[in-house]
Structure 1
Amino acid sequence: MSGARRAVGDEGRPGRRDFLARAGLGATAVLLSGCGVGSGAPRGALRAAFGQPVTDLDPYNAATAVDEASLIVKRLVFDTLVRREGKTLVPGLAAKWRRDGDTRWVFTLRRGAVFHDGSAVTARDVVACLEHTRTVVSAQTPLWATVTGAEAPDDRTVVFTTDGPLGSLPVNLTLLFIVPARRVADPAQKRSPIGSGPFRVTGFTPSTSVELARFDDYWGGRAESPAVSMPYIAETSTAITALRNGDIDLLWPVPPDQLPEVTGVPGIAVESVPSWTYYFNWFNCSRKPFTDPDVRRALCHAVNVPQIVESLFGPGGRQMRAPLPATVAGHAAQEPWAYDPAAARRLLARAGLGRGFTTSMMWFDATGPLARELAQAMISAWAGIGVTVRPQSIEKAMWLERLNSLDWDMNLQTNTVTTGDAAFTIGRLYDSKANRLGYRNPDLDAVLARAAATPEGPERDALYGDACATIWSDAVGLFPVTLVTGYGRARELTGFTPAANNQPDLAVVGRR
């Protein structure tokens, strides 16, 4: 990442500081004064701060089923049959697997895997976890819709059955966290869960901190650090000060406008990676006036996306041309919405809203870097065509509740393609049965069903490409920017690799 950007960009375009100043969004310095961030961590612990709070640790909680912050911790505490390393699927609790015809998958568990309470991981535990997760209606539900069941013919064999070909089952299983069968519905899992991962939970205060200790009997070998401490630091400036002072060892994502504050600092290394994380603003397609595609298209035309991306994010973001990042298989670039306020007004007039209307947008600030600034930039643009947007910046737990109950007009958030597969985003979010944003399209449903049944390859990518085109042209949301994730870390750390899904493997991170 480059250093500080100029106040005025090329061709007279406003730079980030000027852009924020015009919007009335100048940064406020927050000083760290004796807060003791990370001071309570055990000796030798890896002190890692992510930009969102962890609200729950239950692997089957509907509200946090795909929550990014929770997933970071869950991957340390629990394990899955299949894991992802970069773009490759590798064995986890399953030593091997094979497809047996169109509707059966056979997984063989590895020997010697045990839970944190010392009990052995068996095929019966896997079956119980699948059965339970299928009963919980959550953002993961569409991933398991075509799985009809699982059985355990012996302790080390699990057979999954589907109602048709399901090429994405192995990648979906990177999200099925395995716990003891007797604990699948135990309320204690929210605060002090039992898993079989490289760390066990020793302390958890929701939205404040997570404390983990190394599990020495982990089947994959002992983690490099004896403990992991994950404080949530709400103010990024405070977190950056903590990193500079050595109170934490790892911080991500570092907002693009604040990367210069950690670049070139002695003892700190800065790394970045084009991520699978992107911003979108959904329109509630079941709530007027967003039931009318012309209204949605009008709001897309009203926003100068290239200018906002350049001015706010600079090299820390890339303008989107599809409803998922360009690095995800199944991406198909679309024609960007032209910045055309006159066309926007004509579309509103055609929808009977020539005088504009009033609506609202909700988000939580910690959803990603510059969330509030991005929200304000779009709100200002919509004001220019007569659309008044009431900003609703709310705390994360309330945001999750309202999101899942469709209690909103517009919703701004980041999403991460956690599995690196289009099925996780396109297939999971836009199927009519999922009803994530009140959008229903039977033709799209048919395309998504065909894609889910097709093995990985060009045909499957083309189907998801068709889905991208439909979602984009129907303007179910505005997709402005894919983020480049910046990581700031202590140079003495070893084994760290930036992750495109914002979920780095902290078990392999140690120190010199």
Structure 2
Amino acid sequence: MSPNSFSRRDFLRTTAFSVGGLTVLGLTGCGMTEESDVSGAGASTLTAAFIRPIISLDPHGPSDVDEGTLLACRHIFDTLVRRDGKKLVPNVASKWSQPNPTTWVFELRDDVMFHDGNKLTAEDVKASLERVAGSDTPQAELWATLKDVTTEGPHKLRITTERPLGTMLASLTLLFVAPADKLGEKGFFDKPIGSGPFRVDSYTASDHLNLSAAKKYWGTGSKLKKLKLPFIPENSTRLTSLKSGEVDLTWTIPPDQMESMKGSVDLDISSVPSFVYYFNWFNCGRKPFTDKRVRQAMWHALDVRKIVNSLFKDTADVIKAPIPSTVFGYAEQQPYEYDPAKAKQLLADAGYPNGFSTSLMWPRNMSPEIKSLAESFTTYWKKIGVKVKLEELEQAAWLKRLLDLDWDMDLQTNGVTTGDADYTLGRLYTTDANRLGYSNKELDDILHSARSATDQQERKALYRKACKILWEDAPGIYPVQLNSTYGMRTGIKGFEPSPDNQPVLTRVSKG
């Protein structure tokens, strides 16, 4: 192997968001280095409180798909490609070409600098890609078909895959580039150096992240001088802080707080349909959830519409597929009918006429309604003889158990960050991914074909089949898709709500 190449381990898996028929995409036209606007009328400090803690600043680590980590990384680091609405556009990569179906060549800007003054080069991109691809973290599955990464000078990179990868560009929107010579340093990600619009001042996991605008930034600099991202675990305290002015912006807003906030002259509410939804996974590798009839029984035992209307009111909708309706590849399915008698019969057919005992875990503070949702499910399941032990865990402990498959049922929210079905379906539900002990060879073939295809209509047809299989196999219960609802002080200008709960705050200013 040459010193500038990297051979991909065979067992990793993939996903993301594809762009069909794309061969060359040129410069965006912003070819001049710009300095951050850290002075003048727009310069100020913004305090923004997300409902989720930021448990890590490592974009390639175990939390690499966590919403809190992604939110932080979008401000600290840069990516080769970024999303602009539904389009994928150049970022650190100024242009790219695809000389053959399995090879992509990226040319990088030559004016991108890390916060310590060193230039970002192709070696940094290569090292970051190798690190995430060679890990056992959730995002590693994006790069299952990666074969080689080769640098061709300081500003050119060649990526080769084992087979066509229609999701290449969208996967790169999640590849945050860090300095190659720092990646192995102990403690580096406690206060990392990136090339993004903000640099890290201080950070304590699950407590706070304080950022300052980078003194020089190649792109459009921040209108803010400081950005503070505190974690306020109690919803009541978080919203009180918004009303008092201690916090300028927060999300998400619990349904039971919406009316009181709408009536305040000091606050604005902004809401968009999101990529975020709930699922209740079954560990399909553990009895009794190895039997599809048991999983279906658990779903039939729930009055999903009544639960959603009661807990979420007008901030969410009943979901009708294993992905939200906002996502490319969504295909509506027939909802499971609330039918306790059918649920009991399915349990009896599966050999559990008297029900069984099991457990349900979820991460604390993931969502305002998550505990109430777990309790509602448990109340319904008790009626068919299923006794459930509830386990509310700190996020780090929950994540470890989730990845170790050390659980019976898992309740959580999930965001389809790329807006494409493959990010969720291809990353989570293949046999190789083994995220919930579920395996369906027919589904594997469909998802692999959808990942490689570049024709969007072909992909839609394949995801229609995939949605149907997952709905009928019921490896999880999919009850609700959420709106992303943001509350802010009336003096906040330039804020754009994001459907993935990861708003970039560089354009925000305080009046």
2:237 aligned counterpart, secondary structure: helix
AA matched with 1:55: I
Q: Is the 8 A contact 1:66 1:139 kept in 2?
A: yes
Using the TM superposition, give the Cα deviation of residue 160 of structure 1 relative to its aligned residue in structure 2, in angstroms: 0.8
Aligned partner of 2:79 in structure 1 is 80
Aligned partner of 1:346 in structure 2 is 345
Q: Is the 8 A contact 2:321 2:471 kept in 1?
A: yes
Q: Is the 8 A contact 1:131 1:149 kept in 2?
A: no
Matches of 2:98 and 2:328 in 1, distance apart?
22
Structure 2: tracts of 5 or more residues without a match: 1-42
Using the TM superposition, give the Cα deviation of residue 187 of structure 1 relative to its aligned residue in structure 2, in angstroms: 2.9
Matches of 2:325 and 2:455 in 1, distance apart?
17
Q: Is the 8 A contact 1:141 1:434 kept in 2?
A: no
2:236 aligned counterpart, secondary structure: helix
Aligned partner of 1:208 in structure 2 is 207
Matches of 1:290 and 1:187 in 2, distance apart?
41
AA matched with 1:177: F
Q: Is the 8 A contact 1:53 1:208 kept in 2?
A: yes
Q: Is the 8 A contact 1:272 1:486 kept in 2?
A: yes
1:448 aligned counterpart, secondary structure: helix
Matches within 5 A, 1:402-421: 402-421=401-420
Using the TM superposition, give the Cα deviation of residue 203 of structure 1 relative to its aligned residue in structure 2, in angstroms: 0.4
Q: Please tell me whether residue 48 in structure 1 is matched to residue 54 in structure 2.
A: no
Aligned partner of 1:370 in structure 2 is 369
2:479 aligned counterpart, secondary structure: strand
AA matched with 1:49: A
Per-residue displacement from partner, 1:282-337 (whole Å, max 9, x unpaired)? 00000110011110010010000011111111111111111110110011111111
Using the TM superposition, give the Cα deviation of residue 456 of structure 1 relative to its aligned residue in structure 2, in angstroms: 4.9
Q: Is the 8 A contact 2:179 2:193 kept in 1?
A: yes
Matches within 5 A, 1:1-400: 44-62=44-62, 64-400=63-399
The CA RMSD measured in Å over matched residues stands at 1.1
Using the TM superposition, give the Cα deviation of residue 185 of structure 1 relative to its aligned residue in structure 2, in angstroms: 2.8
Per-residue displacement from partner, 1:186-218 (whole Å, max 9, x unpaired)? 332321111110001110011111000110211
Matches of 2:58 and 2:426 in 1, distance apart?
24
Matches of 2:326 and 2:221 in 1, distance apart?
33
Using the TM superposition, give the Cα deviation of residue 406 of structure 1 relative to its aligned residue in structure 2, in angstroms: 0.6
- State the aligned residue count: 469
1:366 aligned counterpart, secondary structure: coil
AA matched with 1:246: G
Q: Is the 8 A contact 2:357 2:387 kept in 1?
A: yes
Using the TM superposition, give the Cα deviation of residue 232 of structure 1 relative to its aligned residue in structure 2, in angstroms: 0.5
Aligned partner of 1:511 in structure 2 is 510
Using the TM superposition, give the Cα deviation of residue 369 of structure 1 relative to its aligned residue in structure 2, in angstroms: 2.6
AA matched with 1:77: I
Worse-superposed segment, 88-97 or 294-303: 88-97
Matches of 1:68 and 1:370 in 2, distance apart?
17
Aligned partner of 1:35 in structure 2 is none
AA matched with 1:496: F
Matches of 1:278 and 1:456 in 2, distance apart?
27
Matches of 2:188 and 2:500 in 1, distance apart?
25
Q: Is the 8 A contact 1:295 1:347 kept in 2?
A: yes
Q: Is the 8 A contact 2:300 2:337 kept in 1?
A: yes
Aligned partner of 1:473 in structure 2 is 472
Matches of 1:268 and 1:100 in 2, distance apart?
52
Aligned partner of 1:423 in structure 2 is 422
Matches of 1:89 and 1:264 in 2, distance apart?
38
Matches of 1:185 and 1:57 in 2, distance apart?
15
Matches of 1:170 and 1:387 in 2, distance apart?
45
AA matched with 1:46: L
Worse-superposed segment, 456-465 or 51-60: 456-465
Matches of 1:471 and 1:189 in 2, distance apart?
40
AA matched with 1:499: S
AA matched with 1:88: K
Matches of 1:176 and 1:440 in 2, distance apart?
28
Matches of 1:222 and 1:475 in 2, distance apart?
46
Worse-superposed segment, 101-110 or 185-194: 185-194
AA matched with 1:376: E
AA matched with 2:136: V
Q: Is the 8 A contact 1:95 1:109 kept in 2?
A: yes
Moved over 3 A (4+): none
Per-residue displacement from partner, 1:441-494 (whole Å, max 9, x unpaired)? 111111111011101511011112211111111000000000012100111111
Using the TM superposition, give the Cα deviation of residue 101 of structure 1 relative to its aligned residue in structure 2, in angstroms: 1.4
Aligned partner of 2:493 in structure 1 is 494
AA matched with 2:202: G
Matches of 2:323 and 2:179 in 1, distance apart?
35
TM-score (norm 1): 0.90
Using the TM superposition, give the Cα deviation of residue 106 of structure 1 relative to its aligned residue in structure 2, in angstroms: 1.2
1:426 aligned counterpart, secondary structure: helix
Q: Is the 8 A contact 1:76 1:197 kept in 2?
A: yes
Per-residue displacement from partner, 1:396-435 (whole Å, max 9, x unpaired)? 1111111111110000000001111111101100011111
1:161 aligned counterpart, secondary structure: strand
Q: Is the 8 A contact 2:197 2:506 kept in 1?
A: yes
Using the TM superposition, give the Cα deviation of residue 154 of structure 1 relative to its aligned residue in structure 2, in angstroms: 1.5
2:173 aligned counterpart, secondary structure: helix
Matches of 2:480 and 2:416 in 1, distance apart?
14
Matches of 2:243 and 2:376 in 1, distance apart?
31
Q: How many percent of aligned residue pairs carry the same amino acid?
A: 46
Using the TM superposition, give the Cα deviation of residue 372 of structure 1 relative to its aligned residue in structure 2, in angstroms: 0.7
Matches of 2:260 and 2:156 in 1, distance apart?
52
Using the TM superposition, give the Cα deviation of residue 267 of structure 1 relative to its aligned residue in structure 2, in angstroms: 2.0
1:175 aligned counterpart, secondary structure: coil
Matches of 1:488 and 1:87 in 2, distance apart?
24
